[in-house]
A and B are shown apart, each in its own frame.
Chain A
């Protein structure tokens, strides 16, 4: 043992600062992982939860803010032109929109996820979609809803809370059933 030869602090007892720092680093790391885990497990916005306001810029350039539609029912449909099941439901969605459009109590929003514009426009034209459709710029909306894929459909009630989630293609009967029920509720 050559402890007598230690000239500097290298082998003396540990300073409390280092102890604290190392624990803080480790706990910080654990916190980070915990947060990541929480996010991964949180899944999409839960039913009954308030949906934060967002805005959609349509392919025509109009900006639609959900904040302007408070007290109304909002249907948010995520789709993409490369997604085959989205084609199944497109006609049904349009039909549902035609049904509620005159009433002005329901807003349909088509959010185009990770898509290219020419293909998206072709898709809209093919299925004759007339409700507002726009690209999900910077994938902000889909990250907010934490979608797992397309198609997914979310229906927000008059109180701005999420009332219905459908993963996979939806049908006319399914959404009209939900919407009628929500319209019946007082705002």
Chain B
């Protein structure tokens, strides 16, 4: 019964979306306000409907209704309640429902916006969001239905169907197969929803961009309306990426946080173009330049969101993350072809209307430097895109598979990331419109000198690798510039208003959230860079086989192997857990428990490292093997300096994004534009 209700709700939501699309187009073509209003309400209705479907699915998951195939595949009675709920996005079908649900939530949120201004955008925003939503709902309903059940046919065969085939009896397995053990980690529970949130919220700025193209209203209204949406999308995408890295570090057991896996890159690419977009829209807002480029960027971001989802789910690429191959690939391909070709066609059609309104006066102006920033982000994007796509090309042309691994990405993106850091140090000091070497130099010289002093200090301290020195110099420069910017602004405000420094800082950030939130984000990036430099350039590792009482040395650390326990747990695991003592120099610093879990139900193993974590470094121990060697137990040990700054930086980064995206109390300044009165006319039929 519950399954029928859920499936029914999905179908109604699908029909409502289709209706909304039709009403939106018709209303726009005929300037028929009632139709528009009707389409708007249809969009508003999708969320409650899909919520009902989601609740039904959750009820089935929690209730252990293993006659439902999806429930059978992703849960088992061993699993705690929270995992049963989050199993909602633990498999292909459920995660598509979840995706649609989030998408509908954002669509509804847009609908609730006061639409008395910019009403001409409304129909096309409805159409674009609902087309995307209807596509995902269609996938769920026609291809990946999470509500299908097992049936026992009269002839003894088993079948899987939504409704009972003739003469069939329900088949209820006693126990489910359980969630993929790799996904039973807090980071993995939150990582997919964050990524999905990031993905779906980028649909909104895209919808407004398309609306601007269709209506021919090419001023910066669409950008101003969606500024906050973009930041929110970006926030979630960043959070998703950071959580994913953390999960990899904690669970995957290869001593790293980022493996340049194709699916990781699939999520990283929209982030890259989205970041470029966040920066370049500011040029359009302040200076009226690069309208075309911004339009290209938002279309690209949406395209990469869809493409990334496609890569993960269609089985085109094999990867640790890949969902099991399913029939959604061809449908997805069709959707990609239609949206990409449609967007490109529309963009080229409006190309001449998207002329820049301003001029560029200086090569050192902030807009010029932002352009450089965009160039670098696009450079990284091309490297990533090409690395993901090349194995496909090779397989098609030569018939041989190739691997494009981390060394390619690290070598190609390293200089680009370094240049981005440098730019991050300079660009905040340059002014919109006009900057000269002199003004820039005057602002830059103090932080520059200080950063050089720090690097000399590091050199004296014994760091000789030029790449490390360069990286640390960049980090120092950016953080000093950013802090110095804060300092100068606070002093200026203090001098003018007489507020004390703290209050001045608070008010300053409060009044220009985007700028000062952005600076906090920059600081977060710098801290993350510190962690990345630490693990990329200074990571050391060793591996060895030891008997109980034996020890392994790595740098200043010694690991003493005490004993190994092998036991079964209540929830269907066989655990091999080593107890090791860690010494730093001669000092005992703690006990670690690296372990291997073997899951009986899914026949999978999981390597959980034992990690001693400080701000200075991580000591990371993996249990590699305890069965095959007579000489003892094999451990792999990593020393990861500074890696914790990566996570701290991530927190600062998120904080900065929150500051930048926090809603303003006062209304957005209204600006009289010629188009607006036009808009007002259109509203009234």
Contacts and interface: CB of A to CB of B under 8 A. Distances in A.
A and B touching (C-beta < 8 Å)? yes
Given A13-B351, A14-B352, A26-B340, A35 B357 contact: no
Interface string A104-118: 000000000000000
A176 to B, nearest CB: 26
Contacts of B357: 1-2
Interface in B289-338: 310, 314-317, 325, 329-330, 333, 336-337
A36 B351 contact: no
B401 A36 contact: no
B400 A32 contact: no
A5 B359 contact: yes
A3 interface: yes
A32 B393 contact: yes
B396 to A, nearest CB: 5
Contacts of B330: 37, 41
Interface string A4-19: 0100001101100001
Nearest to B314: A37
A27 B344 CA distance: 11
A14 B348 contact: yes
A34 to B, nearest CB: 6
A143 interface: yes
Given A1-B357, A36-B392, A36-B396, A30 B340 contact: yes
Contacts of B315: 40-41
A2 B359 contact: yes
B346 to A, nearest CB: 12
A112 B344 CA distance: 49
Contacts of B325: 40-41
Nearest to B389: A32
B348 A22 contact: yes
A1 B674 CA distance: 13
The winner among A23, A34, A36, A37 for most chain B CB atoms within 10 A is: A36
B442 to A, nearest CB: 30
A116 B587 CA distance: 44
Interface in B191-211: none
Contacts of B352: 13-14
Contacts of A11: 355-356
A2 B355 CA distance: 10
Contacts of A32: 389, 392-393, 396
Given A3-B355, A13-B351, A32-B389, A40 B314 contact: yes
Contact of A33 (B333, B348, B356, B395): B333
A101 interface: no
Contact of A143 (B317, B340, B341, B400): B400
Contacts of A37: 314, 316, 329-330, 333
A33 B392 CA distance: 8
The size bracket of the interface on A is 20 to 34
A166 interface: no
Contacts of A10: 356
Interface in B653-667: none
Nearest to A35: B396
Contacts of B333: 30, 33-34, 37
B399 interface: yes
A106 to B, nearest CB: 29
B173 interface: no
Nearest to A7: B359
A130 B673 CA distance: 87
A143 B358 CA distance: 56
A99 interface: no
Interface residues of B, number: 30
Contacts of B389: 32
A26 B307 CA distance: 13
Interface in B422-465: none
Contacts of A40: 314-316, 325, 329
Interface in B235-270: none
A143 B355 contact: no
A39 interface: yes
Contacts of B317: 36
B75 to A, nearest CB: 26
A5 to B, nearest CB: 6
Contacts of A34: 333
Contacts of A27: 341
Interface in A21-67: 22-23, 26-27, 30, 32-37, 39-41
Nearest to A14: B351
A34 B314 CA distance: 11
A10 B293 CA distance: 12
A5 B340 CA distance: 34
A143 B399 contact: yes
A27 B329 CA distance: 18
A167 to B, nearest CB: 14
Nearest to A25: B344
A143 B315 CA distance: 16
Given A26-B340, A30-B340, A19 B348 contact: yes
A36 B344 CA distance: 23
A88 B186 CA distance: 40
Interface in B525-564: none
Contacts of B316: 33, 36-37, 40
Contacts of B310: 33
Nearest to B395: A39
Nearest to A138: B400
Interface string B366-395: 000000000000000000000001001101
Nearest to B352: A13
B396 A30 contact: no
Nearest to B399: A143
Interface string B567-610: 00000000000000000000000000000000000000000000
The winner among B315, B355, B358, B400 for most chain A CB atoms within 10 A is: B355
A26 B316 CA distance: 18
A5 B400 CA distance: 54
Contacts of A3: 355
A2 B356 CA distance: 9
Contacts of B337: 30
A90 to B, nearest CB: 22
Given A2-B358, A3-B355, A36-B395, 6 more contacts: A5-B359, A13-B351, A27-B341, A33-B316, A33-B336, A40-B316
18 contacts: A1-B357, A2-B357, A13-B352, A14-B352, A19-B348, A23-B341, A26-B341, A30-B333, A33-B336, A33-B392, A35-B392, A37-B330, A39-B396, A41-B325, A41-B329, A41-B330, A139-B401, A143-B400
